[in-house]
Amino acid sequence: MSCYVPAGRLRLQLAALAALALLPAAAKAQEDPAKTRWVFQGELTSVLSHGNSEALTLGLGTVIRRQWEKDALRFEVGAIRVETGKITRKAVGTADAFTVERDVERTRTAEALSARARYDRRISDRVFAFGGVDWLRNTFAGIDSRFLMAAGGGSKLAASDRTRLSLSYAATYTFQQDVVKNPFVGTDFVGARLGWELWRRVSASTVFESNFTGDQNLRDTDDRRVDLTNALTVDINDKLGLKPSLQLQWRTRPSLADVPLYAADGSPTGAKVKAPLEKLDTFFRLALVMTF
């Protein structure tokens, strides 16, 4: 599927991304380099099945951070793709002498792409302001493209070596294109966002993280979205770790899909109807984490 974005809107989206990239230039040049270095974290999830069954699951994730005295910048990119193969076999020859031919028809059964950028500015020890942009593509959930801009603030409720907890709130504007157009939900709308970020060191080698984002569509108050991810990272050494995580994405007004219509006796009518997809998507990942 492809998504057409008007030129004016595309320029606005590119300008928002460029602004986030340029904001850290205002940070002080004389700050301690040890505290302002770039930190890269990569995640890799892969499962391959071959032989009597065919399946491939590939997940990639990248987080890049930089911290200044009063400023912080973060980029996140994630992707997941699942392909399964339907195996058919046939024997050629006679009952006493034959060869078996094997054919595999591969089908993409899941795919999701996401990107996020956020810039934070510390106002005091407990209060901060931020701006950010999110992009999501998940055609299996009916979303061809969703671009969101957010601006707001937050407060740090805990900031110790063992626990970090912050709450955030923002005004948002969303541009969304669905695979199947929903006439009851607008494609562009103003919204409000509430979220939290929790980091907790459980032991010397284990860290628990919880990230929550709740979005309210102010144009249609029945339209709400929730994105919750809980993860546990266990260090293997100072560069590698193992990270199981569970992500829940829920929406009260899910996107629509074109569904073939069948008669009561099971015969096809040749028509299609628009039906809502599932409200909840669940992703469980077990990833190898690399930190530099």
pLDDT range class, residue 5, cuts 50, 70, 90: very low
For residue 110, which of 173, 39, 56 has the smallest C-alpha distance?
Answer: 56
Question: Following CA atoms 225, 227, 228, 231 in sequence, which dihedral angle do they give, to the nearest 10 degrees?
Answer: 170
Residue owning tokens 């950010």: 132
pLDDT of residue 49: 86
Contact assessment for residue 111 and residue 80, using Cβ atoms and an 8 Å cutoff: yes
pLDDT one-digit tens code per residue, 158-176: 999 999 999 999 999 999 9
pLDDT of residue 4: 42
pLDDT of residue 206: 96
Does any domain span residue 20?
no
Does any domain span residue 279?
yes
pLDDT of residue 29: 41
- Asked if residue 91 has pLDDT above 60, the reply is yes
- Asked if residue 3 has pLDDT above 60, the reply is no
Q: Average pLDDT of the chain?
A: 87
pLDDT range class, residue 37, cuts 50, 70, 90: confident
Contact assessment for residue 117 and residue 20, using Cβ atoms and an 8 Å cutoff: yes
Does any domain span residue 50?
no
Give 179-218 as a DSSP string: SS--TTS-SEEEEEEEEEEEEEEEETTEEEEEEEEEEEES
pLDDT of residue 34: 44
Does any domain span residue 221?
yes
Mean pLDDT of 185-213: 95
Backbone angles phi and psi of 158, in degrees to 5: -150, 140
Selected residue with higher pLDDT from 28 and 290? 290
Does any domain span residue 64?
no
Does any domain span residue 97?
no
Does any domain span residue 194?
yes
> How many folded domains does the chain comprise?
1
CATH of the domain at 169: 2.40.160
Does any domain span residue 25?
no
pLDDT range class, residue 46, cuts 50, 70, 90: confident
Which residue range is the domain that position 211 belongs to? 107-291
Give 38-77 as a DSSP string: EEEEEEEEEEEE-SSSEEEEEEEEEEEEEE-SSEEEEEEE
Give the DSSP H or E segment for 19.
helix 7-22
pLDDT of residue 71: 93
